Amino acid sequence: MDIFFYNTLTKSKDKFQPIEGKEVKIYSCGPTVYKDATIGNMRTNLFQDVLRRVLKYNGYTLKHAMNITDVGHLVSDGDDGEDKMLKSAREENKTPIEIAKYYTELFFKDLEELNIETPEIVCKATDHIKDMLSYVQKLVENGYAYETSTAIYFDISKLDKYPILSPLNIEEQKAGARVDIDKEKRNPYDFALWIKAPKEHLMKWDSPWGLSYPGWHIECSAMGQKYLGEQFDIHTGGIDLIPTHHENEIAQSKGKCGKIPAKFWMHGEYLLINGGKMSKSLGNVYLIKDIKEKGYDPLVYRLFSFSSHYRNKLNFTWEAIEATSKSLERLKNSYQTHLAGKDEIQDKTLEELEIKFNEAINDDLNMPLAMSVVWEVAKQEVKSPKIAKLLEKFDTVLGLKITEQISKKQEEIPQEILELVEQRKQARENKDWEKSDELRDKIQEKGYIVKDTKAGIEIQKL
Ligand code: AMP
Ligand code: ZN
């Protein structure tokens, strides 16, 4: 079945085909590891995860690279302000390395809890300083970059077209351009490739231009090319990256090798909170941790993210999370009911439903539509293990772990008990009934009772 993705580059839904064979090469702009990732950041990661899973469902293999930005991303997202890593290090009284390590670990924990697959390649900016430096040197050699007393800038006037992704009209923008910090810049939209470090700057490296550090955009160009080649299949990120970061990545790649680095550019829309922006000042910055603390399985948020197409805004409310929590429970219950069912269902009916699901996911990852097919399958009057199997197949894309038992209010059950329950589950799978009974008694001694119900395992406080 054909796959179509909306391509920000062509502004149309284009038929997708990998450049080479059955392997799809994807690059995703990863986190700047200077603070906790929010549920907004995670929406972007969920969209990228669905993309991965849909491609795999269609029989493709993946080479997916994601960077970790641990240097060069300035507070303004442009060329001014402090480095986000350094600001955070100063505020938390830690070294930038400690900050990066701490927030990188938290980020991957969130991914795991949301059942988001780790890309095949995870690459850290500070591990690729040499690659970035030689990229910048090549841009200078090719006549696309110039030195000022503060930085090495990319000269956008050397390009045939800039910008190419965004509707930004450069001439209009120039007219009302903000006052430039660096008067030596040739064009207001020239951006820093490499920045000369002031004495007190903590993160800096030797370079032909003295002690200095990379600009934010160069890392993705250098690492993307290193791991995926001069041109790969898909580049992803949040919608906010289009006018700055992604335009500049394209500019860099055109300057270095004359190519736009990816054929498809896919961007995820923003998550809103109660219809507005998520911001510290409004006190509505939520993390996956907050969802757990309210007693919800993080996968409830995953299911919630399917309620809007990735290119539309999604509005977060706690009421919606409560309703989605019930939906996830219902879906898991109907999976179990079908699994235990004895009715007959025609293969043709299932095939038709499967085609509908495939059409939805292959039409630019239309998850709201795909979910309506999932519910159509789950709510079949007849109860059959064949239906359960189809739901399991769908779950390779959904990633909701529908075969696993409901973990409502999971954090109220101590980790120790959860581990014993897991050991008992293993014992039962190995038909080791003696051990299973022994573990059940142990769980009971600790004040909990474990029950095997039609809907799966239930844990209750005595
Ligand atoms: P930040 O750490 O705020 O710079 O965000 C990192 C990336 O996460 C951004 O570049 C966006 O692509 C994405 N992101 C941030 N906030 C949201 C949001 N509310 N909804 C969706 N994606 C977001
Ligand atoms: Zn990037």
pLDDT, tens digit, 9 for 90 and up, residues 296-307 = 999 999 999 999
Of all ligands present, the nearest one to the C-alpha of 73 is: 1
Q: From CA 107, how far away is CA 112, in angstroms rounded?
A: 9
- Cα(179) to centroid of ligand 2, in Å? 26
> What is the tens place of the pLDDT at every residue in 6-57?
999 999 999 999 999 999 999 999 999 988 999 999 999 999 999 999 999 9
Confidence check: pLDDT of 172 > 60: no
Ion ligand 2 nearby residues (CB, 5 A)? 29, 220
Question: Bridge-partner residues for 273, per DSSP?
Answer: 276, 316
pLDDT at 457: 75
Each as own residue / partner, the long-range contacts of residues 86-95 (CB below 8 Å, 24 or more positions apart, any chain) are 86/201, 86/202, 86/203, 87/34, 88/34, 88/35, 89/202, 95/202
Locate 300 and state its tokens: 């409830």
Ligand 1-lining residues (CB < 6 angstroms): 32, 40-41, 43-44, 237-238, 240-241, 270-271, 278
**In this structure, which residue's CA is closest to atom 9 in ligand 1?**
238
Q: Is 284 exposed, middle or buried (0-12, 13-18, 19+ CB in 10 A)?
A: middle
Asked whether the predicted pLDDT for residue 141 surpasses 90, the reply is yes
Q: Which of 54-68, 71-85, 146-160, 313-327 has the lowest mean pLDDT?
A: 71-85
State which of 34, 36, 41 you would mutate to test the pocket of ligand 1, scoring each by most atoms of that ligand within 8 A of its C-beta: 41
Sheet containing 212-214: which strands, arranged edge to edge?
Answer: 145-147, 151-154, 191-196, 212-214
Length of the chain: 462
292 touches 106 (CB < 8 A): no
Contact 18, 25 (CB under 8 A): yes
Give the closest residue (by CA) to ligand 1 atom 15.
41
Q: Whose CA is nearest to atom 10 of ligand 1?
A: 238
pLDDT tens-digit profile of 276-291? 999 878 889 999 999 9
Strand partners, 137: none
Angle between helices 347-362 and 367-378 (to 10 degrees): 160
Distance from Cα 315 to the centre of ligand 1, integer Å = 15
Q: Which of 37, 283, 249 is closest to 164 using CA atoms? A: 249
| Protein residue with its CA nearest to atom 18 in ligand 1 | 40
- Asked whether 455 and 333 are in contact (CB, 8 A), the reply is yes
Contact yes or no for 439/424 (Cβ under 8 A): yes
pLDDT, tens digit, for every residue of 244-262? Answer: 999 999 999 999 999 999 9
Token pair, residue 413, equals 């059950």
Please report which ligand is nearest the Cα atom of 240: 1
SS3 310: coil
Q: pLDDT band for 425, please (50, 70, 90 cuts).
A: confident
The atom of ligand 1 lying closest to the CA of 35 is: 2
